[in-house]
A and B are shown apart, each in its own frame.
Chain A
Amino acid sequence: MQLFPCPFCGPRDETEFHYGGDAGNARPDGADVPIDRWADYLYLRSNPKGTAREIWVHMSCGEFFVMERDTLTHKVLSSTALGGEYAA
């Protein structure tokens, strides 16, 4: 059982969280976005072995945030509210 730090609620069990994908995967808008760019956004993932920046949601409070963690050792490096302004 991993402990994840919600920027709003503090450390909580991993079962309260849901993974939301790579941080920084900006959505391209428009009907004319090149299809490869759109497919990149939809499907391609960094999936690093080691340090990863990811979007997570703490389902108990409903807040999304950015967490940095190591996907091999499971060490959590940081967590920051989206936009950063509510960082705990």
Chain B
Amino acid sequence: MTRRYSALSLFKEGLAGQTGWKQAWRSPEPKASYDAIVIGGGGHGLATAYYLAKNHNIARVAVLEKGWIGGGNTGRNTTVVRSNYYYPESVELYGLAHRLYEGLSKDLNYNVMLSQRGMVNLCHSTAEMEIGARTVNAMQINGIDAELFSPEDVRRVAPIYNFSPDARFPVFGGIWQGRAGTARHDAVAWGYARAASRLGVDIIQNCEITDFIIEGGRCHGVQTTRGAIRAERIGMAVAGHSSVLAAKAGFRLPINSYALQACVSEPVKPILDTVVLSPGAGVYVSQSDKGEIVIGGGLDRIPSYAQRGNLPTLETVIAGLLEMFPIFGQLKLMRQWAGIVDVVPDSSPIIGESPLPNLFLNCGWGTGGFKAIPAGGTLLAQLLATSKHNDISRPFDLDRFASGRLIDEAAGSGIAH
């Protein structure tokens, strides 16, 4: 049986007809109890289980997934990885994630295809350039790689952009992060699942939470479609469905769930070598390794749990895309979908103990959870293992809404992440 992934093992398996590979992760029957339960088999949940086992030697862990792992926003996002944030608290959080991503393929022995091809946030006016400067300076002070791009710099990284004099969204410059890029979203979920499973974590799919086991005012486990499962530490990382579980646990969250759409064109040969975001057009775009143009835009405007695309937002996003890149007018839309994202008033995540003791939260990532997966997992794992915040997660506790100490990137930098 071949366990380790490498060019050599792939070659040997090639000679043997690729028949010696093991399951990427085991699918055991759930046990009656665990040291810790992680609800949600997306990137954050799987990473949490992995880091519980790896960093804290807690391997009697179950990841409970309602459907199939990586099937939520992990498998529906536009795969951008970046840490170009304004506030020091955000920089610490997303910077941790970014650094972990940079070593993730080797750490997991799974190629997540982190492609650091850089990302430019365009500025379309003098006013936006001033905010851009404010943002770049904040990032540099906080130790994040960032440059303020001139129009010529933008032209160098995105020569097919619409630089014509009558462009609706002319380029005054941009905010550049060279270490930003994309990663293969499914591989992140599967890589964590495989690594966690090998450390002893049980990954239970098709296992939906029906209720929480609450005794003496504390959470002691969950009722599921596959029976009761007990644990003294329960983490949940269920993104857009956080409010649904919170209701079962008896509390409310500062979250609205919205559909965030994405779409891809048919695959074409390389034409766009970086990630480009235009706040004016309301579009961010990159080209996948497979050749598809990957297109994302703003949220749908109607709270929803329906994981499906719709026309009004799609039309707006594509109109914006073609304004940015008129030559994409020759391409065709191949696939359109949506994920349900958990939108918080300050657009920052919530990490910390919930109002129900023993139940810990990792939610509120909104449109930006994918890039944070390694950090979300690390921090929730630490909370579950020690009941104590890491300094990095402390500012993101639920208590910030009562204190008023929000971490609102849009308020600070004018850029909604």
Q: How far is the CB of B250 from chain A (nearest CB, A)?
A: 13
**Which residues of the partner chain A approach B241 to less than 8 Å between Cβ atoms?**
49
Distance in angstroms between the alpha carbons of A14 and B315 in the assembled complex: 14
9 A-B pairs in the complex with CB atoms less than 8 angstroms apart = A1-B312, A15-B312, A35-B402, A43-B345, A43-B401, A46-B243, A48-B247, A49-B257, A72-B306
Within 8 A of B (CB), among A10-49: 13-15, 17-19, 35-36, 39-40, 42-49
Please tell me if the beta carbons of A52 and B302 are within 8 angstroms of each other in the complex. no
Q: Is A2 an interface residue, CB under 8 A from the partner?
A: yes
Distance in angstroms between the alpha carbons of A54 and B303 in the assembled complex: 10
Known: A45-B256, A46-B252, A47-B253. A52 touches B402 (CB 8 A): no
Please tell me if the beta carbons of A47 and B402 are within 8 angstroms of each other in the complex. no
Distance in angstroms between the alpha carbons of A1 and B313 in the assembled complex: 9
**Which residues of the partner chain A approach B253 to less than 8 Å between Cβ atoms?**
44-45, 47
Enumerate chain B interface residues (CB-CB to A < 8 A): 241, 243-244, 247, 252-257, 301-306, 310-312, 345, 401-402
Please tell me if the beta carbons of B345 and A52 are within 8 angstroms of each other in the complex. no
Q: Which 7 A-B pairs have the closest CB atoms?
A: A47-B243, A43-B254, A39-B402, A44-B252, A49-B305, A43-B401, A72-B305
Q: B interface, by DSSP: helix, strand, loop or mixed?
A: mixed
Distance in angstroms between the alpha carbons of A74 and B244 in the assembled complex: 17
**Which residues of the partner chain A approach B311 to less than 8 Å between Cβ atoms?**
1
Distance in angstroms between the alpha carbons of A47 and B344 in the assembled complex: 11
Please tell me if the beta carbons of A36 and B402 are within 8 angstroms of each other in the complex. yes
**Which residues of the partner chain A approach B402 to less than 8 Å between Cβ atoms?**
35-36, 39
Please tell me if the beta carbons of A45 and B252 are within 8 angstroms of each other in the complex. yes
- Which single member of A19, A36, A44 contacts B302 (CB below 8 Å)? A19
How many residues on the A side are at the interface (Cβ–Cβ under 8 A)? 26
**Which residues of the partner chain A approach B306 to less than 8 Å between Cβ atoms?**
71-74
- Which single member of A2, A18, A54, A71 contacts B257 (CB below 8 Å)? A71
Known: A35-B402, A72-B306, A73-B306. A45 touches B254 (CB 8 A): yes
Distance in angstroms between the alpha carbons of A9 and B390 in the assembled complex: 53
- Which single member of B254, B310, B345, B401 contacts A1 (CB below 8 Å)? B310
Distance in angstroms between the alpha carbons of A47 and B256 in the assembled complex: 6
**Which residues of the partner chain B approach A15 to less than 8 Å between Cβ atoms?**
301, 312
Q: How far is the CB of A38 from chain B (nearest CB, A)?
A: 8
Distance in angstroms between the alpha carbons of A18 and B305 in the assembled complex: 17
Please tell me if the beta carbons of A14 and B254 are within 8 angstroms of each other in the complex. no
Distance in angstroms between the alpha carbons of A40 and B244 in the assembled complex: 17
**Which residues of the partner chain B approach A71 to less than 8 Å between Cβ atoms?**
257, 303-306
Please tell me if the beta carbons of A47 and B301 are within 8 angstroms of each other in the complex. no
- Which single member of B254, B257, B301, B312 contacts A44 (CB below 8 Å)? B254
Distance in angstroms between the alpha carbons of A35 and B303 in the assembled complex: 27
With CB as the reference atom, state the residue of chain A lying closest to B310.
A1
With CB as the reference atom, state the residue of chain B lying closest to A72.
B305
Distance in angstroms between the alpha carbons of A1 and B255 in the assembled complex: 24
With CB as the reference atom, state the residue of chain B lying closest to A50.
B305
**Which residues of the partner chain B approach A19 to less than 8 Å between Cβ atoms?**
301-303
Please tell me if the beta carbons of B247 and A39 are within 8 angstroms of each other in the complex. no
**Which residues of the partner chain B approach A17 to less than 8 Å between Cβ atoms?**
302
Please tell me if the beta carbons of A74 and B304 are within 8 angstroms of each other in the complex. yes
Distance in angstroms between the alpha carbons of A1 and B311 in the assembled complex: 6
Distance in angstroms between the alpha carbons of A35 and B405 in the assembled complex: 13
Q: How far is the CB of A74 from chain B (nearest CB, A)?
A: 6
Distance in angstroms between the alpha carbons of A54 and B402 in the assembled complex: 24
Distance in angstroms between the alpha carbons of A45 and B257 in the assembled complex: 10
With CB as the reference atom, state the residue of chain B lying closest to A38.
B402
